[in-house]
Amino acid sequence: MTAPATPYRPLDIAAELIRCPSVTPEDAGALAVLERYLAPLGFACERMRFSDKDTPDIDNLYARLGSGRPHFCFAGHTDVVPVGEAAAWTVDPFAGEVRDGRLYGRGAADMKGSIASFVAAAQRIAAEGFQGSISLLITGDEEGPSINGTKKVLETLKARGETIDHCIVGEPTCVERLGDMIKVGRRGSINGWLTVTGCQGHVAYPHLADNPVPKLLEMLRRLEAHLLDEGTAHFQPSNLEITSVDVGNSATNVIPGSARAVLNIRFNDLHTGASLEKWMRDVCDAVAAETGARYTLKAVTSGEAFLTPPGAFSALIAAAAQKVTGVTPELSTSGGTSDARFIRAHAPVVEFGLPNQTMHKADENAGIDDITRLADIYEAVLRGYFAGQAEAAA
């Protein structure tokens, strides 16, 4: 198929995507916008819809150009977080308005702008030809439960024998300006719901009750006081944060029957979700043995820590960013989780995209110049990637 003669403008694509109010789990036409740009370039566009008990059905798009290797994949998401307080916005969140050199709207930074930049870069490469494959793995479930999205697409590809050689995720990774940070890994995350059960009673007759609050507080004190680690060469120290403590007690003269707490641990590659769950249970068991506390702990790991060791792939992206922006990127593992946590089991993966100062905020926006230059960076990455693979094969 002959590629369109008119160059794609990433700003136009980004604005069209923003005009699709694709708040998780709604697609709102966002994937159709991408298909309309990708199909004329020769991409085979495949919708993958997955469902799961008690979670929304999700549409995903897998679009691939070429069938050979090496296979370079761009991963991203078209779903966005809710608008929040509408009155806090000075623009229509889904109008894709341009003002003072910036594109405004929900998803401008996270991450419809990055997707648009990659599509524009892919057009330039497709027009000239290359040896290998380029794909886009776009989900509508990154900001939601992340159950029916990237993870299931990857499982489907693996089941039918498709291999991804390298992947870049277009998350907004830059801090102060475009090009200043590349994510080569992420810390893991585990949530814990801790409940201590006692016996409700009157505060004037404590011997007839069993107050769960002091026992819960002692468990939390020991968990919070423990130094998990001091960090590693690539990761900051792991940290445990208590995010909620509640007894649901509106009375001042009643000893509650139960007390609950919620906590989260962001951890580096010195730990796993399983090892941290065991540690939490050991601490709680010790308190229970000393105090007679009865407790339950539910622990859910939403992502394990991972690192793509700095090497040729991250160096390629760093060189492309520096060439376009003049900025030397920092290789970092800071921040929250992303779908890279699923991709890491299938291919080396790094994250690089727009500045992240306005993501998830009212009046979310991205600089038009940044969107344009990001397309130039992605183009340089693709050219360097396929040229390097060709040289290695020679």
Residues belonging to the active site: 79, 142
**Under a CB-based contact definition with an 8 Å cutoff, are residues 151 and 261 in contact?**
no
Distances from the Cα of 299 to the Cαs of 9, 10, 60, 117, 196, in angstroms?
Answer: 46, 42, 29, 38, 15
What counts of helices (H) and strands (E) characterise the chain? 9, 19
50-53 — which CB contacts under 8 Å span 24+ positions? 50/148, 50/149, 50/152, 50/153, 51/148, 52/147, 52/148
* Residue 27: how many other CB atoms lie within 10 Å: 20
Indicate the SS3 state at residue 224.
helix
How far apart are alpha carbons 62 and 18 in whole angstroms? 20
Encoded amino acid at 141, one letter: D
Radius of gyration of the chain (CA): 24
Taking alpha carbons only, the member of 122, 20, 25 closest to residue 74 is 122
Residues 6+ apart with CB under 8 A from 115: 13, 14, 17, 34, 74, 76, 78, 136, 138, 170
Q: Which residue has the tokens 């897998």?
A: 62
**Under a CB-based contact definition with an 8 Å cutoff, are residues 317 and 324 in contact?**
no
The conformational region for residue 108 under phi > 0 = left, psi -120 to 50 = alpha, else beta, is: alpha
- DSSP readout, 67-104? SSSSEEEEEEE--B-----GGG-SS-TTS--EETTEEE
> Kind of pairing, strands 330-332 and 181-183?
parallel
- Angle at which helix 312-325 crosses helix 368-393, to 10 degrees, equals 140
How far apart are alpha carbons 202 and 224 in whole angstroms? 30
